[in-house]
Each structure stands twice: as structure tokens, then as C-alpha cells.
């Protein structure tokens, strides 16, 4: 794959001087600052090191809004746009016998982004404060050469920095103010959607109605050590059987709702007590103008009752109603306000009152990247039957579990991130294996 030309027409920017600039770290970024996120993709046709560095240099030359070369300064208050440091940190290693071993967090500084070319696999590690899944997917496209970093369409999407929470709120609640009432009703009761519910322009339109990315929280996690990741894959034939059973037993229910319900039941079956309220992150870009793609964190967590995974249809309706009402916008606004209040209290020496967590039950966070299937398809895959795209991230709480699902070439990949000093690997492994081996059996009682 050839390197893309720089904006001035030269063949490469990787060997030229690259200016360093700074900008303030926004509140939505500070909420996630210091949380490492790992991603692994492959097997793909990776360019050589020089081409990778040229692709990165061309993209980051447009400035800090590309976010790929951002790292926090020593005070944690300003981003430093440092393309040269990013280029110098790209590393090449031999492909390991077990590519999933690359998901183990390095524990080393990961700013701006750690990029590892490992044979046919690409591994990245970045600070969650820089961005979530949408940022990661674009970064991987740039690195692999799946997109031209000089494409005007891409630049137009990521430079609309004024499109954020206020824009989303005006578009949703300004066009129909009664959605405010609907959103608060959803928050209060998480009521089931009536049978006659008709999706609006802001309703989910894919099998998986949410997108990946850790949701914003009002306090940072307090990790007790490096997190661990377990990964399982559901074969194409088994995924087809699950969809066929869904169409027969509970038609209209999203595949994501089945995954959430099934994994909840599998965890309970493995002896892990789970909190009844699960967090489902929603990508707020759905509320922005078409082809708008802020690369900063723009995901809101919606908490819904899991009911021990016994009612995926109810879960589906709860989520559809919440997204259609605009509830995720209110949720992010609330978290942002609480986080800002906590910062103000800290400046005067007062700590906000935070009730102690219930450590007897695991809070679950479910993420999915199926809404970005077109982006996944753009990568230069080599072996479609063995393709993987999995991530690992610090759980939102030390006793929490983050579960990510992704459909890659008709296989369902599931990763579970957790603290190994809290949960035994065997427990998580048993839960994932039970679900991917026979999801219909796990879910059958729901029908």
C-alpha cells in the first residue's frame, strides 16, 4: 500500500519537523483520562513501517482535532498534540503464536497512542480520554491505509467541532419538546415500549442499537491492578441458529438484546452475582447531523434493569424507548454536571459524597460495535474466517465486568474485561463458552 501524499504535495511528512501544540482537555475527556483501552485487529494486510508512519504523519498534520497524536501534559489539564512522539513510538514485533496475548495491557505510558505492528495483527493502546470506539476505528483505518487521510469527506466530518451535546439536545428536544417528558418517564420507570411504538428518526436502525465505548461516569475507576481479558467467538452457523430462533420465538428483538440477556444468564450460571442494573452505552452521534463525527468521547451510559436476563424483549423495548426519547442526552448532561460539581468541590477542599458501591454484585457494562459494520468491512482482511476485532478496557469499577461484542464476517466475538484478583478467569471463561457454544439453550426460557 502506498503512502499518501502530505497536504503540501510532498511524498512524506514522517521525516520533517512536526510542530507541537496544546489545547485544554474538555470535561468529557477528563472523565475518562487515565483509563487505557487496548484493541486488536487481524489478520490483516499491514503496510510496512515507513508507510504506516507516512499515513499517520499525513493525518496528524491537520492538527490536534485529529486527536491521534494527543497526550495529556504533566498537569492533566491540557492536551499536547505531539505527532513526532507518536511516530517514534510505532513498534514492530514478531507475530505471537497466540495473537490474543497482545491484549494484555503493557502498563507503560500509552500517550499519545501505542501502535504495534505484529505480523498480520495490529495492536493499539490509547488513553480513553482521547476517544472511544469511533476514534479507534478511524485511527485503525488511517494506520492500515484503509482510508486516505487527505479525503475531504473525512476532514469535513472531524472538523465540525461545534457539534456536541448542545447540538444534539437542540435537534432532539427542539424538534419535539415532548421528548423531554418522554425521557424523564423513561428514567423514572424504564417502562416497556407499547406494541404500537413507531421508531423515530432518532431510533436505532440496526440489529445492535448501541455503539461501543465506556460510558461517562462521575468518578474514575480505582483499579486494584492490571485488568485481564477473556475472548470467545460464536461460529457463523451458531450465530445463524440464534437469529433463526429469535425470528421464531421473539421476532423483532435486536440481536444486541439477546447478547445482553444471554451473557447475563451465562454469568449467573457461572456463579457470578450481577447487579440488576446494567449499563448500555449509546453513541450520541446518532443525534447529530449526518456525516458528523466528533472524535472525542461522545457516548452516554443508559442504565436499564437486566432482570437476570429473563426478558430480552423487554430490554429491547426499554432501550428503543430510551434512545427515541433522547434520554441518553439527558444522562450525559447529568453526568457532566455532576463531574463539574465534583471538580469545583475539590478546589475548595471538599469531597463530594459518593455512597460506597455494592461489591457483592458485579456491575455490568455492555458495548457493541455492530453499528460500524461498514468501517469494519473496510479493513484489508486476509482470513475472513478467522478475523478478530476485540478490545480490552479497565472495568468501570474494580468489581465490574465490561463485555464487548462485535460481529466480524458473520462471527460474533465477545470479550470480557475484569480484575483477575476479583474474579477467577475460569468463571469468566465458562460463562463466555456457555453462551457462544449454545446461545439458544441459554436463552430458551426467554421465549
Q: How far apart are CA 86 and CA 71, in angstroms?
A: 9
Q: How far apart are CA 130 and CA 188, in angstroms?
A: 32
Contact 281, 289 (CB under 8 A): no
pLDDT at 201: 34
pLDDT at 35: 80
Alpha helices in 271-412 (DSSP H): 312-325, 327-347, 373-377
pLDDT at 196: 35
Bridge-partner residues for 91, per DSSP? 116
Q: How far apart are CA 154 and CA 265, in angstroms?
A: 41
pLDDT at 394: 82
DSSP 8-state code for residue 145 = T
Expressed in angstroms, the distance from the first to the final Cα of the chain is: 49
E strands present in 221-334: 228-234, 277-283, 299-305
Residue 263's nearest CA partner among 447, 394, 388, 442 is 442
Domain residue limits, the chain:
21-158, 165-446
pTM for the model stands at 0.80
Each of the 447 residues of the chain gets a pLDDT tens digit; together they read: 444 444 444 445 555 667 888 888 877 787 778 788 889 999 999 999 999 999 999 999 888 888 899 988 888 888 899 999 999 989 999 999 999 989 877 665 556 889 999 999 999 998 888 888 888 888 999 999 998 888 877 777 675 555 576 666 666 666 666 666 666 666 655 544 433 333 333 333 333 344 444 454 444 444 456 789 999 999 999 999 999 999 999 999 999 999 999 999 999 999 999 999 998 888 777 777 776 667 777 777 888 899 888 899 999 988 888 887 777 777 766 666 555 555 555 566 555 555 566 667 899 999 887 656 777 888 899 988 889 999 888 887 889 999 999 988 889 999 999 999 999 999 999 999 999 999 999 998 655
Residue 406's nearest CA partner among 259, 302, 223 is 259
Contact 215, 299 (CB under 8 A): yes
Residue reference for cell 468463571: 427
ω into residue 428 within 30 of 0, thus cis? no
Q: How far apart are CA 284 and CA 282, in angstroms?
A: 6
* Stretch (H or E) spanning 238: helix 236-249
Compute the CA torsion angle 329, 404, 309, 253 (nearest 10 deg).
70
Task: Count the Cβ atoms, other than its own, within 10 Å of residue 248.
Answer: 9
pLDDT at 45: 95
HSE of 66, CA atoms in CB hemisphere, 13 A: 26
Q: Tell me the three state secondary structure of residue 85.
A: helix
The torsion angles phi and psi of 300, rounded to 5 degrees, stand at -120, 135
Q: Yes or no: is domain 165-446 CATH 3.40.50.1110?
A: no
Contact 279, 303 (CB under 8 A): yes
Amino acid at each position: 500500500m502506498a503512502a499518501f501524499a502530505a497536504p503540501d504535495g510532498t511524498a512524506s511528512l514522517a521525516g520533517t519537523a512536526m510542530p507541537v501544540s496544546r489545547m485544554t482537555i474538555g470535561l468529557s475527556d477528563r472523565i475518562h483520562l487515565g483509563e487505557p483501552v487496548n484493541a486488536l485487529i487481524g489478520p490483516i494486510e499491514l503496510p510496512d513501517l515507513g508507510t504506516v508512519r507516512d499515513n499517520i504523519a499525513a493525518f496528524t498534520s491537520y492538527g490536534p482535532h485529529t486527536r491521534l497524536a494527543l497526550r495529556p501534559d504533566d498537569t492533566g489539564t491540557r492536551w499536547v498534540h505531539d505527532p513526532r512522539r507518536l511516530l517514534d513510538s510505532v513498534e514492530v514485533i514478531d507475530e505471537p503464536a497466540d495473537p490474543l496475548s497482545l491484549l494484555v495491557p503493557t502498563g507503560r505510558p500509552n500517550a499519545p497512542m501505542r501502535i504495534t505492528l505484529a505480523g498480520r495483527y495490529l495492536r493499539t493502546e490509547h488513553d480513553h480520554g482521547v476517544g472511544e470506539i469511533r476514534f479507534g476505528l478511524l485511527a485503525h483505518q488511517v494506520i492500515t491505509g484503509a482510508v486516505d487521510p487527505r479525503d475531504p469527506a473525512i476532514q469535513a466530518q472531524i472538523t465540525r467541532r461545534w457539534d456536541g451535546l448542545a447540538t444534539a439536545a437542540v435537534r432532539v428536544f427542539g424538534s419535539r419538546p415532548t421528548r423531554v417528558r418522554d425521557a424523564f418517564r423513561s428514567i423514572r420507570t424504564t417502562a416497556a415500549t407499547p406494541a404500537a411504538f413507531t421508531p423515530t428518526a432518532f431510533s436505532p436502525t440496526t440489529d445492535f442499537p448501541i455503539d461501543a465505548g465506556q460510558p461517562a461516569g462521575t468518578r474514575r475507576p480505582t483499579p486494584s491492578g492490571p485488568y485481564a481479558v477473556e475472548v470467545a467467538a460464536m461460529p457463523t452457523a451458531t450465530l445463524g441458529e440464534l437469529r433463526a430462533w429469535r425470528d421464531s420465538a421473539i421476532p423483532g428483538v435486536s440481536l444486541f438484546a439477546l447478547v445482553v440477556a444471554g451473557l447475563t444468564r451465562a454469568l449467573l450460571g457461572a456463579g457470578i452475582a450481577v447487579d440488576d442494573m446494567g449499563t448500555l452505552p449509546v453513541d450520541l452521534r446518532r443525534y447529530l447531523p449526518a456525516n458528523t463525527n466528533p472524535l472525542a468521547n461522545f457516548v452516554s451510559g443508559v442504565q436499564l434493569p437486566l432482570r437476570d436476563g429473563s426478558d430480552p424483549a423487554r430490554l429491547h423495548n426499554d432501550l428503543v424507548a430510551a434512545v427515541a426519547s433522547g434520554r441518553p442526552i439527558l444522562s450525559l448532561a447529568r453526568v457532566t454536571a455532576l463531574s463539574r460539581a465534583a471538580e469545583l468541590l475539590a478546589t475548595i477542599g471538599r469531597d463530594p459524597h459518593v455512597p460506597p458501591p455494592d461489591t457483592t454484585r458485579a456491575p455490568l457494562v455492555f458495548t457493541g460495535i455492530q453499528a460500524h459494520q461498514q468501517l469494519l468491512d473496510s479493513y484489508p482482511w486476509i482470513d475472513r474466517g478467522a478475523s478478530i476485532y476485540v478490545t480490552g478496557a479497565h472495568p468501570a469499577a474494580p468489581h465490574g465486568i465490561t463485555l464487548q461484542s462485535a460481529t466480524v464476517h458473520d462471527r460474533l466475538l465477545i470479550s470480557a474485561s475484569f480484575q483477575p484478583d476479583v474474579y477467577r478467569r475460569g468463571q469468566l471463561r465458562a460463562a463466555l463458552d456457555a453462551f457462544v457454544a449454545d446461545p439458544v439453550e441459554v436463552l430458551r426460557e426467554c421465549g
